[in-house]
Structure 1
């Protein structure tokens, strides 16, 4: 079962290579709105520092090749030897919807995974490093695309190993359960359909009571609330692309534009029009 494609089709992520090579001394990455980072430590040792309260670990030492994913804006600093430094390849990430992106919402503020832990990752990284390290026709564009491949492989691994990166609830936990994943994938693919609790439970192959309890335990919310949030997140993304509210309401299964606007205001605290004006 493909648990990621429907998500990534609806909420795309764009990656952009911005550094390859050594980092010496202190390197600081500021938390800019909508800016996420994916760092690949290829060789060397260093200390990673965070501001108190931003992550579960204020500082830690790295001594092996590691992936560091910051899905949300987090101030972080790499402290390397002043001359020899450590070898990195780094990219910025732009998730559609920013912090309201369902994938971003379901991840911790830092994901730290040794490279050799993710099965099948090495071939993609070898291609990425080859393109990042040599200036050839299209190398920057190809490196950007290969970073997307690395990110997708990492997300695929996280879904199968949520506890190892500190995920305890949310979308990722739902997708990690084969039964719940059947219902979630169906919701993601066809949010406009009439999804009653009975239909969701049937899709998962469970009774209504068992499905509702398992869904709440895994995701931290009810099936109905999740469906509404998914539709509204899609609606927000569609509004940013210029789609009119009346068409969005129809495509997402709302009875009317006014019912969409009412639900949007209840979840976001402002009307769709005001939200769109403030998000531009």
Structure 2
């Protein structure tokens, strides 16, 4: 057994309290979102007439609920979506995007919001007087040290059509109603209300998208809808400190070793053992925060017999040493 293979026994987690998700065995999407900490920031309504276009800078992520009209959405990676009435679009990566009519000249969304939004009404208007488009839009952020690894999970645009939404009993209509009310006339507690509504909208959008989009379009999250690969993922997440071989994971998935490794890597973007190690280090990063647990203890809990091996792997993953996470003031 080498320094990377220790996984269980007396040096495994001492209790489920070390990482609460282990006790409840929550689903994989919840585990990912727990680590990257979704936080809603802002909601506003937009009354737009053709031609128009808004450029959203990199930084916050955004969603757009199409109440009526039509628009083109262009992500920073070149992906373009044509959206119509009733559609929901979520741009989770925070890399910037443009929305508008094809003939619109983009103006800064940040400047328009700054100039037009008021405390008593979070509404903007823009355009040349042509065909109308009305939106409810909002900004949110993912926070946490695990962003680089976990945002790779998400596509540049999550597009859920009106037809797909119609199959799910109007959940978006209900959320949009309350978001619109907060944008039109914010009341006491608006900030926390908006944040919580955005949380629900984004999480529900991800869940719907996982089940509706073709597997080839899902990137990492496509694995959640792939029955065989999701079995292997669940095994890794339910017992993250028990190191398993590719052959063992393939057997759990009910696939040959080569087919499993190829399918897993194509969906996840990482080979099975690399992903297993990365997930354990993400959990280790959470354990170290606050300085309440010694680095050597965390190293043993996540399966490393050697502090030096753990430190090398941790620094390769996060670019900093585990000591600097546990004791940032030093």
TM-score range, shorter chain: 0.7 to 0.9
**Matched residue of 2:94: which SS?**
coil
**Kept after mapping to 2: 8 A contact 1:179/1:205:** yes
Q: How far apart, CA to CA, are the structure 2 residues paired with 1:214 and 1:61? A: 30
1:265 equivalent in alignment to 2:312? no
Deviation at 1:192, TM superposition (A): 1.9
| Alpha-carbon separation, structure 1, partners of 2:82 and 2:262 | 40
Gap regions ≥5 residues in structure 1: none
**1:95 and 2:142 aligned:** yes
Q: Does 1:78 align with 2:99?
A: yes
Residue 164 of structure 2: which of 101, 109, 117 is its match? 117
1:70-104: per-residue Cα shift (whole Å, max 9, x none)? 221322233363357532222222224464253x2
**1:19 and 1:215, CA in 2 relative to 1: closer, same or farther beyond 3 A?**
same
Per-residue CA deviations over 1:170-191 (Å, capped at 9, x if unaligned) read: x223222111101212212331
Query: Which of 227, 231, 234 pairs up with 1:178?
Result: 227
What CA deviation, in whole Å up to 9, does each residue of 1:245-270 have, x standing for no partner? Answer: 33432343333432221112334455
Equivalent runs, 1:22-61 vs 2, <5 Å = 22-23=47-48, 25-32=52-59, 35-49=60-74, 54-57=76-79, 61=82
Look up the SS of the partner of 1:152 in the other structure.
helix
Question: In the alignment, which residue of structure 1 is the partner of 2:86?
Answer: 65
Pairwise mapping of residues 215-226 of structure 1 onto structure 2 (< 5 A)?
A: 215-226=264-275
Contact 2:136 2:179 in 1 (8 A): no
5+ residue gaps in structure 2?
Answer: 1-25, 101-125
Distance in 2 between residues matched to 1:9 and 1:60, nearest whole Å: 29
Distance in 1, matches of 2:311 and 2:259, equals 32
Matches within 5 A, 1:129-168: 129-134=177-182, 135-163=186-214, 166-167=217-218
- Give the counterpart of 1:203 among 246, 252, 265: 252
1:182-221: per-residue Cα shift (whole Å, max 9, x none)?
Answer: 1212212331223333442343344544433432343343
- Give me the TM-score of the superposition, normalised by structure 2: 0.67
Task: Kindly report the root-mean-square deviation, in angstroms, between the aligned alpha carbons of the 2 structures.
Answer: 3.4
Shift of the 17–189 alpha-carbon distance from structure 1 to 2, 3 Å rule, reads farther
Equivalent in 295, 298, 307 of residue 248 of structure 1? 298
Which structure has the larger Rg? 2
> Separation in 2 of the partners of 1:201 and 1:248?
28
Residues 77 and 233 of structure 1, relative CA distance in 2, 3 Å threshold: same
Deviation at 1:273, TM superposition (A): 5.3
Closer, same or farther in 2 for the Cα pair 1:164/1:205, shift >3 Å? closer
Deviation at 1:61, TM superposition (A): 4.5
